[in-house]
């Protein structure tokens, strides 16, 4: 059962890019992201109301959660926007580089001394990144702007890295449901405001494909997928769960090939393998540092 749960989480989260492609057929990226987070936040608020209300937090916790929500909003806005220009495989792979940026933050902000393996992983990751972006443009929706899609996906990776760093400050004192209820609520508020300012309305009510994609992202990828990841921590270590997320770009690429007919160039596959290997090394080093700290 634990392995089935973790595998189901991989499929649910990996399919988010496929769902987003359908959603983008009826609305802009800000509207799609706002709709996704608003639905997910609404479900969590209803659950909290049925269980006695949203968990109260201190002023410091509230500020950290609000900042984390804003970072989450940026993550979804930039990543979903990247799918307008880059292929599903490239977008999902690049947004999975978050562990590299969180490790870099620890090196720069917390003055952790990087190991030789981490330093080598940074260099190998850069080479893999160049191979992916440079060779995989055939399947991009807008080939001459594939580089813009890559930059937006990387921005999404940095933003979700900031989210994890901020949430890390309150995780010891707050449960997962309290954290996601607050952060999803703030992210939804930021995205709704941004969509209104950008004049991006939600899809028409009769656009079944777009709303199907949005509902699938909110209910399957967001609530079920990410909740399953958190639930799997009962049986697996955080390092094991982090390593399992390296399968997301692989499952997304396979789903994109099956359902969208998006091919992946051979040099880009090689670059992706190098990049995933570099992320795996960084995750392993982070796990070892965490074990040493305890």
Nearest CA to 128 out of 279, 250, 274 is that of 274
Residue tagged 């010891």 (tokens): 172
The whole-number pLDDT of residue 86 equals 87
The whole-number pLDDT of residue 110 equals 73
Q: Where are the domains of the chain?
A: 2-293
CB-based contact 95:157 (threshold 8 Å): yes
**Tens of pLDDT, residue by residue, the chain (294 residues):** 777 887 788 888 889 999 999 999 999 999 999 999 999 999 999 998 888 888 888 999 999 999 999 999 999 999 999 999 988 888 888 888 887 787 788 777 777 777 788 788 878 877 887 777 666 665 677 778 888 998 999 999 999 889 988 988 887 888 878 888 999 999 999 999 999 999 999 999 999 999 999 999 999 998 888 777 766 756 765 556 666 677 778 888 888 888 888 877 777 788 888 888 887 887 677 666 555 554
The 3-class secondary structure across the chain, one letter per residue, is CHHHHHHHHHHHHHCHHHHHHHHHCCCCHHHHHHHHHHHHHHHHHHHHHHCCCCCCCCHHHHHHHHHHHHHHHHHHHHHHHHCCCCCHHHHHHHHCCHHHHHHHHHHHHCCCCCCHHHHHHHHHHHHHHHHHHHHCCCCCCCHHHHHHHHHHHHHHHHHHHHHHHHHHCCCCCCCHHHHHHHHHHHHHHHHHHHHHHCCCCCCCCCCHHHHHHHHHHHHHHHHHHHHHHHHHHHCCCHHHHHHHCCHHHHHHHHHHHHHCCCCCCHHHHHHHHHHHHHHHHHHHHHHHHHHHHC
User: What gap in Å lies between CA 242 and CA 236, rounded to an integer?
Assistant: 10
Nearest CA to 30 out of 189, 191, 190, 157 is that of 191
Residue tagged 């109301």 (tokens): 49
């Amino acid at each position: 059962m634990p392995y089935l749960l973790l595998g189901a989480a991989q499929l649910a989260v990996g399919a988010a890019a496929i769902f987003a492609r359908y959603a983008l057929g009826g609305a802009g990226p800000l509207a799609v992201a706002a709709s996704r987070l608003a639905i997910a936040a609404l479900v969590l608020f209803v659950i909290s109301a049925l269980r006695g209300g949203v968990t109260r937090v201190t002023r410091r916790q509230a500020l950290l959660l609000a900042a984390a929500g804003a970072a989450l909003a940026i993550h979804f806005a930039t990543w979903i926007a990247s799918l307008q220009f880059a292929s599903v495989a490239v977008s999902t792979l690049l947004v999975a580089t978050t562990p590299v940026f969180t490790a870099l933050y620890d090196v720069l902000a917390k003055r952790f001394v990087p190991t030789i393996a981490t330093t080598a992983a940074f260099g190998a990751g850069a080479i893999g990144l160049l191979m992916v972006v440079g060779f995989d443009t055939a399947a991009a929706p807008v080939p001459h702007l594939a580089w813009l899609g890559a930059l937006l996906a990387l921005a999404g990776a940095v933003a979700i890295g900031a989210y994890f760093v901020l949430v890390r400050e309150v995780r010891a004192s707050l449960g997962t449901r309290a954290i996601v209820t607050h952060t999803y609520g703030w992210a939804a508020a930021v995205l709704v405001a941004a969509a209104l300012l950008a004049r991006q309305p939600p899809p028409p009510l009769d656009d079944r494909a777009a709303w199907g994609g949005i509902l699938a992202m909110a209910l399957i990828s967001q609530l079920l997928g990410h909740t399953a990841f958190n639930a799997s921590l009962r049986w697996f270590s955080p390092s094991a769960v982090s390593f399992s997320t390296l399968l997301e770009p692989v499952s997304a690429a396979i789903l994109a090939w099956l359902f969208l007919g998006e091919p992946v160039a051979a040099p880009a596959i090689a670059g992706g393998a190098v990049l995933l290997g570099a992320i795996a090394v960084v995750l392993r080093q982070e796990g070892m540092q965490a074990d040493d700290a305890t």
